[in-house]
């Protein structure tokens, strides 16, 4: 994959898919701005990238605050001159798995703020910069829950459907500006979100694996491979697409 010397921002890169993606970009010679709401987690990812010879720096960012997103991108451009790739990965799940009528308003507002509004803020600021510089690439991390029904999970599902819609709409708008915008839609993937789900019932892990034709959960590194490919010049005729990585669950 051709990613050498690209300037890349990844939100939520202190753990899980974001951290795996940052490390993979690092092995391909990119410079990664590791953004996370938890600065210590971001610093840990940076340390791991630098240990193997990669280039990275940490920035604390709460994507639910527009000014924080503006600062993240402005500081990156001030230091590096431009922004090649924006990976919008920061995301959370609800605290409670409840049907729609019982769905917590707290979960609704929190999940929508991070997963939907946060992605919108990051896309909006990144697109202004990329339009000015004349090129760019955005990869959004959506979910299988943004492509098919997901019970007891309304706010998460709504937010991820929104990410898919925003990806396609913006890709249509900016295709002639040399800006590509795509999304990945992971199924059940080992991460903090999956761990949270697995603790809800002692039998849920076996139930979930029975739903997956490949019989296992995805690994963060497998999702990272798709993100890096979409961000690379190897996929330069692809925009407005969603790549589903779910071990066949959607079948």
Q: Report which secondary-structure segment, H or E, holds 9.
A: strand 7-10
Sequence-ordered alpha helix ranges (H) in the chain = 16-27, 39-51, 66-80, 105-111, 118-133, 154-174, 192-198, 204-210, 220-231
CB-CB neighbours of 33 under 10 Å: 26
How far apart are alpha carbons 59 and 82 in whole angstroms? 17
How far apart are alpha carbons 220 and 210 in whole angstroms? 20
Q: Is 161 a catalytic residue?
A: no
At 219, phi and psi to the nearest 5?
Answer: -110, 145
- Torsion angle in degrees (nearest 10) through CA of 234, 180, 171, 26: 90
Q: Is the dihedral of CA 60, 66, 67, 70 positive or negative?
A: positive
- Given the residues 121, 156, 161, 174, the one annotated as active site: 156
Structure tokens at 167: 């990806």
Residue with tokens 């090129």: 135
Contact present, 198 and 221 (Cβ < 8 Å): no
Active site residues: 156
């Amino acid at each position: 994959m051709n990613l050498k010397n690209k300037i890349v921002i990844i939100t939520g890169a202190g753990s899980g898919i974001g951290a795996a993606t940052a490390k993979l970009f690092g092995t391909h010679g990119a410079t990664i701005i590791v953004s996370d709401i938890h600065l210590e987690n971001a610093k840990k990812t940076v340390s791991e990238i630098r240990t193997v010879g990669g280039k990275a720096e940490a920035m604390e960012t709460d994507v639910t605050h527009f000014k924080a997103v503006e600062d993240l991108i402005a500081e990156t451009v001030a230091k590096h001159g431009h922004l090649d790739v924006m990976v919008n990965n920061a995301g959370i799940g609800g605290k409670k798995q409840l049907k729609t009528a019982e769905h917590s308003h707290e979960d609704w507002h929190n999940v929508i703020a991070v997963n939907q509004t946060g992605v919108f803020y990051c896309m909006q600021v990144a697109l202004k910069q990329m339009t000015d510089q004349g090129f760019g690439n955005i990869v959004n991390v959506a979910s299988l829950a943004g492509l098919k029904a997901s019970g007891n999970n309304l706010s998460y599902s709504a937010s991820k459907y929104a990410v898919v819609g925003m990806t396609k709409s913006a890709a249509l708008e900016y295709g002639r500006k040399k800006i590509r915008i795509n999304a990945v839609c992971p199924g059940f993937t080992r991460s903090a979100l999956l761990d949270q789900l697995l603790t809800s019932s002692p039998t849920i892990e076996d139930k979930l694996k029975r739903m997956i034709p490949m019989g296992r959960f995805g690994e963060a590194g497998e999702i990272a491979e798709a993100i890096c490919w979409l961000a690379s010049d190897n996929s330069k005729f692809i925009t407005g697409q969603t790549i589903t990585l779910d071990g066949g669950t959607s079948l």
